[in-house]
Amino acid sequence: MKAVGIIAEYNPFHNGHQYHIEEAKKNTNADVTIAAMSGNFTQRGEPTILDKWHRANEALHNGIDVVVELPLAFSVQPSHLFAQGALTILDALKVSDIVFGAEHSDWNFERLVRSEKNFDKNQFELYNETFATAFNEQLKQNTGIELTDPNDILAFSYFKAKKSIHASANLLPIKRIGNKYHDLEISGRFSSASSIRSSIANGSFDFVNSVPDITKKDLLNIKKLGTWENLYPYLRYTLIQSPVSELCGIYQMAEGLEYRMKSVAENASSFDEFIRELKTKRYTYSRLIRVSLYALLHITDGEMSEHYQTPYIRILGFNRRGQQYLHEIRKKLHMQAFTRLSRDQKVGVAQLDFRAGKMYQMINHSEQQDMKRKPIILL
Instruction: Specify binding-site residues for ATP.
Output: 7-20, 101, 151, 176-177
Secondary structure element (H or E) that encloses residue 320, with its range = helix 320-329
- Does residue 12 have a cis peptide bond before it, meaning omega lies within 30 degrees of 0? yes
Helix, strand, coil abundance in the chain, percent, nearest 5: 50, 10, 35
Tally of residues, the chain: 379
Between helix 285-296 and helix 257-267 the angle, nearest 10°, is 80
d(CA 296, CA 293): 5
Residue 200: CB atoms within 10 A of its CB come to 18
Chain-centroid distance of CA 320 in Å reads 27
d(CA 309, CA 91): 15
Residue 374: CB atoms within 10 A of its CB come to 9
Residues facing residue 8 across a β-bridge: 37
Residue 186: CB atoms within 10 A of its CB come to 20
d(CA 89, CA 161): 12
- State the binding site: 7-20, 101, 151, 176-177
